[in-house]
Each structure stands twice: as structure tokens, then as C-alpha cells.
């Protein structure tokens, strides 16, 4: 089952988009994934934050850019039992705290960090809101992947901060891919972008959404004013592409292989 009502600490549980045009972004992503993105409620307290749903289940968030210089980007959030303790672990591990843990109207506690390589991620200590109500389906988040030039440093940092184990997978000509695990269950991945991606591209977390037709979705991205940066191409997990929305936010989508579908909880 892909419905979720809770997450094991250490598991990515939510993603959201910071964008300069929430209304236009809502229309763009709704056309891709069949989302409904209702207008924000209680704007004075929420800052215009909106929750996208698919078939009545929460899948992702969207919000206006909050500060000068804030990039247009998707952010991955990891469920934690104690956001304050995680912030301390981030500092001890050489990371940065961009937003201290804060209560979000009883829904949970939020904090935003950067790992030592600069990749930004958030954590969520759930209150009444656990995170995404559905994952691993078309139009929902299916994978979260760290793109970094320092895999060894990332293994040490995320192991200490979030309790992740790192499992190296031999991908042949594509090199080594790292699978993050919690209690033996895979919860995300890591790719070494050193020498493969232009140096001006910083370390970052990449959100993958599920699709039943990667090639068709790539066409929709371009029709909507976005850009296909890579793919679609086949890998053992399925057929995927990395794209940009019209405002520059990078994301990916995957059409899972039959084996991936069979192995996905």
C-alpha cells in the first residue's frame, strides 16, 4: 500500500516547492500530475503556503519565496523524533542550521539545514500532520536522492545526524550508487556528481515523482514552459528524466520497472 499515516523517524516524509509564482506553479504541476492545489487558508499565519493533493491525499507543498536570494527549488523533509536534537547533531556534524526548529500551528515542528557540502534539506517532527498521505504512485513522490561531490563526507554526516546506513551498489559503467537505509529498509539514494555535472551546480537533494509514461511527461514539461535537462533514459530502476519547471526548480520523475514496482512497499 502506498497510503501513509505515519513515518518511521529517518524517513523522508514531505517535499515542498519555493517558487516566485505559486498560482502559475500550481497550474503547471497540476497539469503534469493531476494535483489539486487549493488556495492558501489563513494567509497571515501560513505565509501563503498551499498543500497539493491527489485524489484527496496530501502529496506536496508550495509556498512563495520568503527571503531575498532564496532559490526556486524543491526541498526534501525527513521525519525525526526530535527536531531540536537533530539541529544540535547538524551543528556537531559540520552542517548549517538555516531555520531553527519552529512549531507550525500544532501540525509539527519544522527545521531547515544544509549538510557540510551545502545540500539543503529539512526535518519534520510530526504533530497532527505526519507528512505526505501517499507515496510511490504516479503523481506522488517516489524517491529522494542526494546529489553530491563528497559521498564519503555525506555518509558520515547523515549517518550521525539521521541514523542512516549507506549501502554501495555497483551500477557497472554508471559507477557506484548509494542506497540510504533505515533499519534495513531503503529510504533514499545518493549519486556522486563529481566530474559528471558542471561545477556551478551545487550539491542538492533531488525529488523524484512517479509516472506511468516518462516520455509523455517530458513532453508535457516542455509544453508547459519547462525544460528537459536529461533523459528520458532507461536504468535498472526504470525510465527517468531530470527536468526544470518554468521558474528553474529542478525535479525528476521515474516510470518504475516491473521489478521496482514489485519491490516497492
pLDDT digits (tens, 9 = 90+) for 77-102: 999 999 999 999 999 999 999 999 99
What does pLDDT average to over the chain?
94
pLDDT > 70: percent of the chain: 98
CATH 2.30.31.70 for domain 141-263, yes or no, is no
d(CA 216, CA 175): 28
pLDDT in tens, 51-82: 999 999 999 999 999 888 889 999 999 999 99
Starting at the edge strand found earlier in the chain, the sheet holding 185-192 runs 165-170, 176-182, 185-192, 141-148, 204-210, 250-256, 238-244, 227-235
Q: What class has domain 12-126?
A: alpha beta
Q: Do domains 12-126 and 141-263 have the same CATH topology?
A: yes
Give the confidence band of 258 by pLDDT, cuts at 50, 70, 90.
Answer: confident
Q: Across residues 195-210, what is the average pLDDT?
A: 93
pLDDT in tens, 103-127: 999 999 999 999 999 999 999 999 9
The domain ranges of the chain are: 12-126, 141-263
Which residues fall within 8 angstroms of residue 54, CB to CB, at 6 or more apart?
Answer: 33, 34, 35, 36, 134, 137, 139, 140
Q: How far is CA 11 from CA 33, 80, 113, 155, 195, in A?
A: 23, 8, 16, 16, 29
Amino acid at each position: 500500500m502506498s497510503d501513509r499515516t505515519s513515518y518511521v523517524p529517518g524517513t523522508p516524509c514531505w517535499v515542498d516547492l519555493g517558487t516566485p509564482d505559486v498560482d502559475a506553479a500550481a497550474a503547471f504541476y497540476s497539469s503534469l500530475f493531476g494535483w489539486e492545489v487549493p488556495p492558501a487558508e489563513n494567509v497571515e499565519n501560513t505565509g501563503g503556503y498551499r498543500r497539493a493533493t491527489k485524489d484527496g491525499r496530501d502529496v506536496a507543498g508550495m509556498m512563495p519565496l520568503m527571503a531575498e536570494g532564496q532559490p526556486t527549488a524543491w526541498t526534501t523533509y525527513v521525519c525525526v523524533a526530535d527536531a531540536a536534537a537533530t539541529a544540535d547533531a547538524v551543528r556537531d556534524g559540520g552542517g548549517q542550521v538555516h531555520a531553527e526548529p519552529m512549531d507550525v500551528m500544532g501540525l509539527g515542528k519544522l527545521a531547515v539545514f544544509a549538510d557540510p557540502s551545502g545540500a539543503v534539506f529539512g526535518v519534520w517532527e510530526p504533530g497532527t500532520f505526519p507528512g505526505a498521505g501517499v507515496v510511490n504512485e504516479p503523481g506522488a513522490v517516489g524517491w529522494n536522492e542526494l546529489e553530491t561531490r563528497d559521498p564519503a563526507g555525506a555518509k558520515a554526516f547523515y549517518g550521525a545526524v539521521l541514523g542512516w546506513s549507506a549501502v554501495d551498489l555497483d551500477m557497472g559503467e554508471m559507477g557506484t550508487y548509494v542506497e540510504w537505509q533505515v533499519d534495513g529498509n531503503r529510504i533514499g539514494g545518493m549519486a556522486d556528481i563529481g566530474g559528471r555535472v558542471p561545477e556551478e551546480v551545487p550539491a542538492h537533494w533531488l525529488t523524484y515523482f512517479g509516472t506511468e509514461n516518462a516520455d509523455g511527461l517530458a513532453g508535457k514539461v516542455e509544453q508547459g514552459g519547462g525544460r528537459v535537462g536529461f533523459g528520458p533514459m532507461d536504468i535498472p530502476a526504470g525510465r527517468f528524466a531530470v527536468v526544470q519547471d518554468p521558474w528553474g526548480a529542478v525535479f525528476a520523475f521515474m516510470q518504475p520497472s516491473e521489478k521496482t514496482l514489485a519491490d516497492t512497499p
